[in-house]
Amino acid sequence: PEPARLGRFQDWCLRTYGDSGKTKTVTRRKYSRILQALLQGDQEDRGGGVLRDQGGAMTAKFKFWVKSKGFQVGPGPTERPVLYVPVKP
């Protein structure tokens, strides 16, 4: 879909469903936290610095949840990394 249309849809989803941490929807906020958790893991594997979430610390439970769901980071159309969400058959 075109970027403007996708943006309107994401805004509608946030207004309609909110940004609850317990939803199965990957909201913008959750997307950012998942991406940060995966990038933090990559930095820790290479001995780099530690990234923190907005609350100051990424919980072990959240990191485990991210890894268990099979999320992956890959290249996107820009230089920024993109989160790939696994699809269940």
Average pLDDT of each block of 10 consecutive residues along the chain (89 residues)?
82 73 72 90 54 61 87 87 80
| Residue 19 is assigned to a structural domain of this protein | no
CA atoms within 13 A on the CB side of 45: 6
Q: Which domain holds residue 79?
A: 27-84
pLDDT at 48: 47
Structure tokens at 40: 């933090």
Structure tokens at 48: 């780099």
pLDDT at 54: 54
| Residue 1 is assigned to a structural domain of this protein | no
pLDDT at 22: 57
pLDDT at 1: 57
Reported pTM: 0.57
Query: Whose CA is closest to 34, among 3, 58, 10?
Result: 58
| Residue 38 is assigned to a structural domain of this protein | yes
